[in-house]
Structure 1
Amino acid sequence: MTNLELYNTLNYIDHSRTKRMEMSNLILNNPSSIATLMEIAFQVDDPVSCKACWVLEFTSKEHLTYLFPSMDTFVHNIGSVHLDPAVRPIAKICEILMKSYFQFKDQETRDTLSEKHLESITSACFDWLIGDHKVAAQAYSMTSLLLLGIKFNWIHPELRMILEQNYQNGSAAYKARARMTLAKLR
């Protein structure tokens, strides 16, 4: 599928779970389209990029390894994503990657993600946590940073400080996730 064909197809999907899943299945049946999907996802000022990010998230939930050949592109561009409907799925993909790497200790994930990748994900997660982003992206970032702190010992003290500072002004959902994260940090 060409960039234009994929772009036009993405333009017609909506936020419904059914439409996102249908598009994800199209990608899962044609994994070579992942690179093109990422190319569209990282056209960060285009609203269609958000739809590409939704599909990328669904695809990564179903078959994370399909992202691995394009991991350099993914990690290089995650920090530039700024539209809220795109930040949430990108943050979720980072959480999926970190769970695969640290919790499940998946060897293929560990072989794919370099220290530089992990550092870039760390940077993006801190940006999403302290930036003006919706709670979902911040919650996924908390989980990712909690796991990344296993490898980088400087992360946990920074994470603790940020959560304690922002707790008072956070929404109920933010406070709930922050409490859970802080409990694990103690």
Structure 2
Amino acid sequence: MTPATLTKKLVGSRLNKHQIMQLVDDLKLYPELTTVVLKIVFEQDKLRKNFNGCWVFDHLMRKKLDYLLPSMNLFVEGLPAIRWESTLRPMSHVLEMVNERYFVKKESAYIEAITINQQEIMTQVCFDWLIGQHKVATKAFAMTSLFYLGERFDWIRPELKIVLEQNYTSGSAGYKSRARTILDKMKS
């Protein structure tokens, strides 16, 4: 598969679930095309025209998260510009997976690839997503990422606790469930 072929598939008409999964299976053979997909995700977010890229990216990252490592800087630096809900959910999910690999699984490839500056950007983005007018899935992924990032930056968990407690009563059932889980983890 070439970058041009991939681009044509991602910017064309909306892909169904089967087509997305087929494309993901194809992309597992071409890790170098992850950057192409990521650039398309950011372009499609700006245009708010198509979300094939973010669907494919999210599903590819579920299977081959390590493919993101060479493009980590592009990924992190692009996060603050995302505005479309259809892009926010999958990208916040990928960010949660990245932070899990770094902080929970302590995988050396992630520890070596992610800088403190990138973690500062992740922190700012996650707080923006958490306190902004976004859907619950984006907020839930942001909560978890912030909890993990609290291992790096001491000030995060006390601030996260305040935000979660302030918004708990007005949150949806999904928000409350994830907030309760995170608050319980902060107690232990």
Same fold (TM > 0.5)? yes
Contact 2:14–2:50 under 8 Å retained in 1: no
| 2:37 counterpart of 1:37 | yes
Contact 1:49–1:86 under 8 Å retained in 2: no
1:49, distance to aligned residue in structure 2 (A): 5.5
Q: CA RMSD in A?
A: 1.5
TM-score (normalised: structure 1): 0.93
- The aligned counterpart of 2:120 is 119
Report SS of the residue matched to 2:37. Answer: helix
Taking the aligned partners of 1:180 and 1:169, their CA distance within structure 2 comes to 17
| 2:63 counterpart of 1:67 | no
TM-score (normalised: structure 2): 0.92
5+ residue gaps, structure 1: none
1:6, distance to aligned residue in structure 2 (A): 2.3
Counterpart of 1:159 in structure 2: which amino acid? L
5+ residue gaps, structure 2: none
Report SS of the residue matched to 2:134. Answer: coil
Taking the aligned partners of 1:170 and 1:106, their CA distance within structure 2 comes to 34
Which 10-residue stretch deviates more, 102-111 or 43-52? 43-52
- The aligned counterpart of 2:141 is 140
| 2:12 counterpart of 1:23 | no
1:53, distance to aligned residue in structure 2 (A): 1.4
- The aligned counterpart of 1:56 is 57
- Which runs of 4 or more aligned residues in structure 1 lie more than 6 Å from their structure 2 counterparts after TM superposition? none
1:20, distance to aligned residue in structure 2 (A): 2.3
1:119, distance to aligned residue in structure 2 (A): 1.1
Contact 1:13–1:19 under 8 Å retained in 2: no
1:132, distance to aligned residue in structure 2 (A): 0.9
Report SS of the residue matched to 2:32. Answer: helix
Contact 1:40–1:49 under 8 Å retained in 2: no
Taking the aligned partners of 2:165 and 2:180, their CA distance within structure 1 comes to 9
- The aligned counterpart of 1:165 is 166
- The aligned counterpart of 2:85 is 84
Residue identity (%): 35
